[in-house]
Chain A
C-alpha cells in the first residue's frame, strides 16, 4: 500500500512533466491497441473534479482534455490549469478538499471498490496487452491463475473440511448422516468443562516452556556456528538429525529413555548416586520432559534457519560500525539481534502454532496422564473424537482452539507490520 499515493497532486514522476494528455479523438483511435486501463474516470469523477476546480478558483476546464488513458488521480495532476503552479496553499487546499470529500463518500475510493486482482498500475509497470479479465494474458488473469492451484488445493483439502468441521461442531454428530443440530450447546459445554480449561492451561504452559527453551538457544548456537572456522557441515547435520526421525518412534525412544526403572537417564542418575526421578510419572516433571523432547526435535531446524539469516547479513554493516568504533557488544545488540528479529517473528508464530496443538508426542509418551497433568488440547480432542466418539464436542473444542490461535497469529501479523514500518 505504501507505494500507492492516490492523493498526491504533485510528485516527481516523469509523467507529470508530460504535456497535456492526448485529446479524446486520438485516444479513442488507440482503443484498438486494447491497452489495459485500470480505471476510466466515470462521469461522477468528472463532475467532482470540475467542482473542485471551481472551488480552487480555477476556471472551467474542458472535460475532453483529460479523459485519456490515465487514472483519475493522475488526470487531476495533469490539468493544464495546475501545470507549473507550485503555490503550496493551493496544493494543501486541494488535498484537504479531496480528503474531506472522500470521507463524505463523494469521491470514489478506489481501494474500496476495486477487485482483489486490481491494484493500481505503478508508473514503472509496462503496459500489457489484454484488458479483459478472461483474456489469458491479461494482467489480472495471470495473477489469478498463479494463485489458483494453491487456492484450489487449500479450498478443497483445508478450507472446505474446516467449514465442515465447524458445521459438525454445531451438531450432535452422527457419522451416518443423521446428526442432530444443537446450536451452540457444544461450545457452552466446553466453557463449563473444567478439564477443557485445564488442557488450555497445560497447552499454554507447554507452549511457553518450549518457546523459552526452543526459540532463544538456537540463536546462540547459530551465532557460535557462524563464528567457528571448521566443522560447520558436521554440526549442521548433527543438529538436524532429530528433525529427520518420525515423531512417533522418536517419542517412543524418549519414553524409553525417560523410563523410571529401566531408562538410561535414571541409570546415569544412579551412577551419580542420585535418587531416580519419575520423568513421565511425576506430575511436576511430565510436561517438562515432553517439552524437552519437543525442543530436542526442533532445535536443529531453527538453528539452521537462524544460521541462514546470519549468513545473509551484509558484512558492510559490521565494517561501518567498526569504523564508528563500536564494540562487540554494541555490534551484537545493534546489528546482529535486530537483523534476526523478522525471522524470530515468523519462527515464533510457527512454534506457537505447533506447540499449542502438540498431540503425537504427548499421546505416545503419557497419554495425557499422570492424572491429566499432561493433558493438552490435542490429546483431549483426540480422546473425545475417537474414544467416546463425540465428534461434535471435539470439533467445538477444535474451533475454540482455532479461535485462540487465529487471534494470536493475527495480533502477531499486525505487530510485525508495525515494527517493520
Chain B
C-alpha cells in the first residue's frame, strides 16, 4: 500500500515535470521574421463546429499573410481577468469585448485608437453609423464592431398555440404584451407569461418607447433624464406587469441565464433577449428551432425602439506596432465580405443554427431574406448612452430602483426615479469630465 502510494506520487511528479519541460521547448521555437498575433475568443473544444470554422478562418488568414502566425487563446473578455493580464503586460493583441465596456477600458489606457486604420477601410461606410459612434470615446474611435445583437421579444410558439393564441401574431404594443402575458400565465402549472430581468439594459428600451431619454447632454454637461415623464411611465408599466398583471417569473431577481433556461424549457412564454443567445439554447436543450419565434419589441406610447449592441474588436495599446498592424489585418480579413460569406456558407453546410448576430453588420449578408427581421430592427435601433459615468449610473439603477419596483408593491415610480436621478447627477455625472 505504501509502495503504491510512492509509485503514484512519483508518477505524478514525473507527469508535472514533463509538462513543464514540454512548455519550455515550445517557447524556444521563435522566429524573428514572423509576427505572432495573440487572439482571444477562440471557441472552446466543447463547441466543435464553431471551433472548426474558427480554425478554417485561421488557416485561410495565414495562407494570405504568411508572415503572421495566429496564436489563439480560449479566453473570453472578463473584467477581472482582463485587467490583471493587462497589468501584467500579457494582454492579448486583439480581443472582442462588449461595446459597453469600451469606455472603462479606454479610460484606463488599454485600448489603441483605431482612427487611422478605419479611415482607409473599405467597409467603414457599411457599418451602421450609430454602432460605430458607440465605439467613440472622446474624439477617438477605439473599436471595430465585429458582430451585432438586437434586443428582441422571444416567444414560445407552442405555448401560444396551447393557450389559443395565434403564434404568428406576437404582441405589438405594451397593452397587448401585458394581456398576452396574462393569458399565458398559469402559476399553478409553473408557467409564467413574461421573463423580465430588472436591469437598465432592458429598461432603457422601455424609456425610449415611451419617448424619453436616459441621459441628456446640455451645455457640455451630462445629466440624468430618466426621471422625466416617459421614464416614469415606463417604470409604472413595469410595476403594473409585476403587481397588477402578475405575469413575471416567480423569482423576480432571477438572472438572465436562468430566465433563458426556463424559456427553453417552456416555463416562461415570452422574454426579451438577443438572437445570439438562441443557438446555445438549441444545442443544449435539443429543442426545435421552429418552436419559438422572434419579434420586434412591442411599441410603446411613442412608437418602436430597441437597442442594439455587440462585440467590438479592440486592439491592445501596449503591444508593438507590427503586432497592431497584424491585428488590424486580422480584423480586416475577418470582417471582409468574402470571409463573412464563407462563414455563412459553412454554417449552412455544417447545419448550424444561422443567426444574424454571428455576422458583421458591415456586410450585406444581413440583407438575406432569412435576416429580414434584423433589417427592420436596424431602422429603429439605438445604442446605449455612451457618456462618461454611464457605467456607474447603469450599475446604480440595476442595483436599487429597478429591483425595488419589483420587490415593494408600494414603491412610487416617480419618487424613486427622481431621487436616483438626483443622486446620479450629484455623485457621478457632476464629477466626470465631459468629452464633447
The interface of chain A, by Cβ under 8 A from chain B, is 174-176, 178, 259-262, 276, 278, 280-283, 366-372, 382-383, 385-389, 391
Decide: A261 and B110 in contact? CB cutoff 8 A. no
Distance of A281 Cα from B250 Cα, bound (Å): 10
Decide: A369 and B109 in contact? CB cutoff 8 A. no
The interface of chain B, by Cβ under 8 A from chain A, is 79-80, 83, 86-87, 104, 108-110, 190, 192, 249-253, 255, 267, 317-318, 391-392, 395, 399-400, 403-404, 407
**A282 contacts which chain B residues (CB < 8 A)?**
407
**B109 contacts which chain A residues (CB < 8 A)?**
174, 176, 178
Known: A174-B109, A176-B110, A261-B190. A388 touches B395 (CB 8 A): yes
Distance of A391 Cα from B79 Cα, bound (Å): 12
Decide: A386 and B80 in contact? CB cutoff 8 A. yes
Distance of A386 Cα from B407 Cα, bound (Å): 27
A174-B108, A387-B391, A391-B83 known, 16 other contacts, Cβ within 8 Å:
A176-B109, A261-B190, A261-B249, A261-B250, A262-B250, A262-B267, A281-B251, A281-B253, A281-B407, A367-B255, A369-B399, A371-B399, A371-B407, A372-B399, A386-B83, A388-B392
Chain A proximity of B264: nearest CB distance (Å): 14
Other-chain residue from B108, B391, B403 in contact with A369 (beta carbon distance below 8 A): B403
A-B contact pairs, 21 of them (CB 8 A): A176-B317, A261-B190, A262-B190, A262-B267, A276-B250, A278-B251, A281-B251, A281-B252, A281-B407, A282-B407, A283-B407, A368-B399, A369-B253, A370-B253, A370-B407, A371-B399, A371-B400, A371-B407, A382-B80, A385-B80, A388-B391
**A372 contacts which chain B residues (CB < 8 A)?**
399-400
Distance of A283 Cα from B400 Cα, bound (Å): 12
Distance of A196 Cα from B365 Cα, bound (Å): 50
Distance of A366 Cα from B251 Cα, bound (Å): 12
Known: A261-B190, A281-B407, A369-B399. A389 touches B253 (CB 8 A): no
Decide: A175 and B250 in contact? CB cutoff 8 A. no
Decide: A371 and B404 in contact? CB cutoff 8 A. yes
**B190 contacts which chain A residues (CB < 8 A)?**
261-262
Known: A175-B87, A280-B253, A372-B400. A387 touches B395 (CB 8 A): yes
**A367 contacts which chain B residues (CB < 8 A)?**
255
**B407 contacts which chain A residues (CB < 8 A)?**
281-283, 370-371
Decide: B251 and A259 in contact? CB cutoff 8 A. yes
Q: Looking across the interface, which residue of chain B has its beta carbon closest to that of A283? A: B407
Q: Looking across the interface, which residue of chain A has its beta carbon closest to that of B104? A: A389
Chain A proximity of B45: nearest CB distance (Å): 22
**B317 contacts which chain A residues (CB < 8 A)?**
176
Q: Looking across the interface, which residue of chain A has its beta carbon closest to that of B253? A: A281
**A259 contacts which chain B residues (CB < 8 A)?**
250-251
Distance of A370 Cα from B104 Cα, bound (Å): 26
Chain A proximity of B134: nearest CB distance (Å): 19
Most B CB contacts (10 A, CB to CB) among A175, A261, A368, A385 go to A175
Distance of A243 Cα from B83 Cα, bound (Å): 32
Other-chain residue from B108, B251, B252 in contact with A389 (beta carbon distance below 8 A): B108
**B251 contacts which chain A residues (CB < 8 A)?**
259-261, 278, 280-281
Distance of A46 Cα from B222 Cα, bound (Å): 80
Distance of A276 Cα from B250 Cα, bound (Å): 10
Known: A383-B395, A386-B83, A388-B391. A371 touches B250 (CB 8 A): no
**A388 contacts which chain B residues (CB < 8 A)?**
104, 391-392, 395
**B249 contacts which chain A residues (CB < 8 A)?**
261
Decide: A176 and B108 in contact? CB cutoff 8 A. yes
Distance of A366 Cα from B391 Cα, bound (Å): 20
Chain B proximity of A82: nearest CB distance (Å): 61
**A386 contacts which chain B residues (CB < 8 A)?**
79-80, 83
Chain A proximity of B426: nearest CB distance (Å): 13
Known: A259-B251, A262-B250. A175 touches B108 (CB 8 A): yes
Most A CB contacts (10 A, CB to CB) among B250, B400, B404 go to B250
**B404 contacts which chain A residues (CB < 8 A)?**
371
Other-chain residue from B87, B253, B403 in contact with A176 (beta carbon distance below 8 A): B87
**A276 contacts which chain B residues (CB < 8 A)?**
250
Chain B proximity of A288: nearest CB distance (Å): 16
